[in-house]
Amino acid sequence: MIIQENINIESFTTFKVPAFCKYFVKVNTVEELNEALDFCDEKKISLLVLGGGSNVLFTKKFNGLVVQLNLKGLKINEESHQHIIISAMAGEYWHSFVKYCVNHNYGGLENLSLIPGNVGTSPVQNIGAYGVEIKDTFNSLLALNISTRKIESFSNNQCEFGYRDSIFKNIAKNKYIILEVRFKLTTKNHILNYSYGAIKEELNKHKIVEPTIKDISKAIVNIRRSKLPDPMVLGNAGSFFKNPTIPLYKFKNIQKIYSEIPHYILSHNTVKIPAAWLIEKVGWKGKKVGNVGVHEKQALVLVNYGGGTGEEIYQLSEQIIRDVNKLFDILLEREVNIII
């Protein structure tokens, strides 16, 4: 295990902005992870665990230890008549894991194809797309308790999943490091979810009437590639903001002015509004400010056009939040973790 000092880890993040840290180490085993934690204790410094670098924005130097979790491996834990429980180590790249499952006819994750990041960070945010969230197939996970150094198991209920939320963003934040995640997937009689219009359109385009999980995965990959910039080409972290949930009375007031407002009714008194629609309505879609801006095809995505800094992207997000709040009285919440 080699600990590096005062380096720029920009290449390990998808925003591709300067990302300096006091110390950096890549760990390949739980033993090395414990050594890294010992180093933090000895130096009395903060710890930042980096997965795929797809959900973090550096606006200044991190004066602690950044640990890149490189734990690898897949294994089958249990098999039954039509289900399988498969585990993936935290350092596995999410899309590669989804492809593995799809290619082996394990159903349940196909709608989450091409989401950037690693397996270990997927439960933290309860990642989701096209009508599916991690919690739908999540079985359990193993995490290292930073204080006790013991490995603990968390069930689906114990993770307290919510919309882009979990216990690891709340009371368990910075207290655990996720090592391994287990999913319960189908091996036959798959429950397919292709109710979203974009998926249906993509399937119809290829004249697919009875889709397989491979068909759905491929359709979603095509949709995402057509709408979202490749972080290898254009620095970004995918969706920057959460879709806000607002009271029904507030939604009705907005609807009086904007009858076309898209929405999803969650309960008798709460409604979810697409953040992208709000951002577009205040004029930010496709707008560029210096070296950064809002993507021309997807208003949820903030991009680094080259030479941008984390501070520039952060200030852009501040302007967007202010403008949306001023017009709609809705306060957007960032999905991305900010090093500030």
Positions marked catalytic: 164, 239, 335
CB contact at 8 A, 219 and 211: yes
Supply 147's token pair: 């204080």
What is each CA distance from 219 to 28, 95, 101, 133, 200, in whole angstroms? Answer: 34, 14, 16, 18, 9
CB contact at 8 A, 88 and 98: no
